[in-house]
Chain A
């Protein structure tokens, strides 16, 4: 029992510093005779990614509910599914899902597992299907590149530490203590919601979008045009590098981009959905 009390203090003190967390888990693993513990949180499984994505999506949708318009939802889902087929990660645990949500502010966001949101305001701000494809392809690229994973990995390691704390507390008080597990999970969701991707991640997602658009047959210049339509920070909750910086980093990649055929046909389709049905 004393060993567990000491363990609790060890977990508390060391887990308070994120940088020390790996060492903490190693120390705790050794203290409990379980060396595998330190490695146990290394992988985020597809199933966990999906359930995390669901809870993040539930947060987003509580602020911005789904737009009740089946035609628009169908259009965005067909476009999104078509683009996802051209990503390097066309599969997620339960597949990609796309949604148009209420809100006049132009915004787009992705959640782990393949949940992608575009606001009604974003649809109104864009001028053609190439631009909408670019916005969605950028969000697919974040999922493809697993950008949320680093945040979760850190949080998951904390969770393991907290679970051990729970185990120690359970042994001591003969009582089930699930709250710690709930707390770390809730913190993880909050962290993903409030963390913006860093500049490199944004640039990588832009580059990923250009690749997806090109493979799918869209004009990759749509990425540059879309950035010109919206203000900086066009995610729901995060902060991006300035659009000017992003466009600048795209210029080299777009230098040799060919203009695909039938852009006018797609523009007509986009206008039909966004002007007649929206």
Chain B
């Protein structure tokens, strides 16, 4: 092989490697929302203003990172989400019935259904067979919601200055 051919091969190799790396980077910027409702924050802090909401299974693009927080954008909405708000794309899409497999193969529909496991449908069946279970109190418990300003107030009155509330608006 001549020197010019070797240079050409090396160049093509480097180009392929660059394209592969770029593609991997682009994919790693896509995030799947793993929360029922994810509040987009104006700053990388739980106690900053909510500027929008994303839903379970939404695919958003991370445009910036600050510590454990990502600034994401989707359909004109932009804001910050903590890394724990994201999950495994494939399993979440299966969970909400948007996996590519669903459309392709009806038998796989059943597998997807099996994969859903614990779901509102399962809960209904389980509840019907176990009438003594106290789902009422579970619902009451789920109603215990605390606004961020009360959490900040609770911390300040107790002389607590934890990392998560530093810089929180008064």
On A, residues with C-beta under 8 Å from B are 32, 34, 36-37, 40-52, 54-55, 57-59, 61-62, 65-66, 73-74, 77-79, 81-82, 85-86, 88-95, 97-99, 115, 129, 156, 159-160, 163-164, 167, 178, 181-182, 185-186, 188-189, 215-218, 260-262, 265-266, 269
Tell me if B133 is interfacial: C-beta within 8 Å of chain A.
Answer: yes
Flag if B142 contacts A34 (CB, 8 Å).
no
Given contacts A48-B116, A57-B141, contact A90 B82 (CB under 8 A): yes
CB distance from A78 to the nearest CB of B (A): 4
Cross-chain contact A261 with B141 (CB below 8 angstroms) = no
Scoring A46, A49, A57 by chain B CB atoms within 10 A of each residue's CB, the highest score goes to A46
Q: List 10 A-B contacts (CB under 8 A).
A: A45-B87, A48-B117, A57-B141, A61-B134, A62-B134, A79-B154, A89-B84, A90-B164, A156-B115, A217-B159
A243 to B164, CA, bound (A): 30
Is A94 touching B162 in the complex (CB atoms < 8 A)? no
Report which of A41, A48, A91, A218 forms a contact with B95, defined as CB distance below 8 A: A48
> Is there an interface contact between B144 and A77, defined as CB atoms closer than 8 Å?
yes
**B residues within 8 A CB of A185?**
117-118, 122, 125-126
Query: Inside 8 A of B117's CB, which chain A residues have their CB?
Result: 44, 48, 52, 156, 159, 185, 188
Q: Does residue B165 face the partner (Cβ distance < 8 Å to A)?
A: yes
Nearest to A162 among chain B residues (CB) is B114
Most-contacted residue by chain B among A47, A262, A269 (CB, 10 A): A47
Binding site for A on B (CB under 8 A): 34-36, 38, 46, 56, 82, 84-85, 87-88, 90-92, 94-96, 101, 107-108, 110-120, 122-123, 125-127, 129-130, 132-135, 137-138, 140-142, 144-146, 150-151, 154-155, 157-165
A34-B108, A66-B140 known; A85 and B165 CB under 8 Å? Answer: yes
Judge whether A58 and B138 touch: CB under 8 Å.
Answer: yes
Q: Give the chain A neighbours of B90 by CB distance below 8 A.
A: 43
Most buried by A among B36, B110, B122, B123: B122
How far, in angstroms, from A91 to B81 measured CA to CA in the complex? 10
CB–CB A81/B151 < 8 A: yes
- Determine whether the beta carbon of B160 is less than 8 Å from that of A54: no
B135 CB, nearest partner CB in chain A, Å:
5
Q: Known contacts A47-B95, A94-B35, A189-B126; decide if A62 and B162 are in contact (CB<8 Å).
A: no
Q: Inside 8 A of A95's CB, which chain B residues have their CB?
A: 145
- Chain A's nearest CB lies how many Å from the CB of B97? 11
Chain A, residue nearest B153 (CB): A78
Q: Is the CB of B158 within 8 A of A91?
A: no
Give the contacting residue for A160; candidates B85, B91, B114, B161; CB below 8 A: B114
Return the contact of A97 from the options B114, B133, B135, B144 (Cβ within 8 A).
B144
Q: What chain B residues lie within 8 Å of A36 (beta carbons)?
A: 101, 108, 111
What residues of A have a CB within 8 angstroms of the CB of B115 in the complex? Answer: 40-41, 156, 160
Is there an interface contact between A269 and B110, defined as CB atoms closer than 8 Å? no
Q: Decide if A186 touches B126 in the complex (CB within 8 Å).
A: yes
Which A residues touch B129, using CB under 8 A? 182, 186
Tell me the complex Cα distance, A46–B88, Å: 10
C-alpha gap A177/B48 in the complex (Å):
50
Kindly list chain A residues whose C-beta atoms are within 8 Å of the C-beta of B145: 95
Distance in angstroms from A9 CB to nearest chain B CB is: 19
A46-B34, A266-B159 are contacts. A51–B142 as well, Cβ < 8 Å? no
